[in-house]
Amino acid sequence: MKTYRNRGLTFFPVSFWIANIDYLRSAPQEVQFGAIAVGALVGSFLGFRRGLLRKLWYGSIGGIGTAAVIYPEDSKLVAREGFQIAKCYGSVAYNFIVGRKYS
């Protein structure tokens, strides 16, 4: 079983992580939704004593990261479309700040 060492610490073997990710990708939707919720909760716990905005930010990152691991193809599509929309709204915001009309 192949393991990685980092500063003397032994981490879980790579096959452990691959097997769990494969299970989550083929599991029923309830299990997948539960895993995403746990990822968001872990993110919220990491931002526990740092204010409401940081809790929301960490929770969002945890949920989005877990969802990206479970649904890789869908997350690529959403990221691509979100980037296009962000470019459009960024151009609108820039032209609004500068004072030009957006065409």
For residues 66 and 79, state if they share a domain. no
- pTM, two decimals, is 0.67
pLDDT band, residue 2 (cuts 50/70/90): low
Tell me the DSSP string of 17-28: HHHHHHHHHHS-
For residues 35 and 82, state if they share a domain. no
pLDDT digit string (tens) for 3-56? 555 555 556 677 777 788 888 888 888 999 999 999 999 999 988 888 888 989
Range of the domain at 90: 72-103
**Domain total for the chain?**
2
What is the rounded end-to-end Cα distance, in angstroms, of the chain? 60
For residues 53 and 96, state if they share a domain. no
Amino acid 3: pLDDT: 52
For residues 22 and 50, state if they share a domain. yes
The two structure tokens encoding residue 91: 């151009």
In whole angstroms, give the CA distance from residue 57 to residue 95. Answer: 28
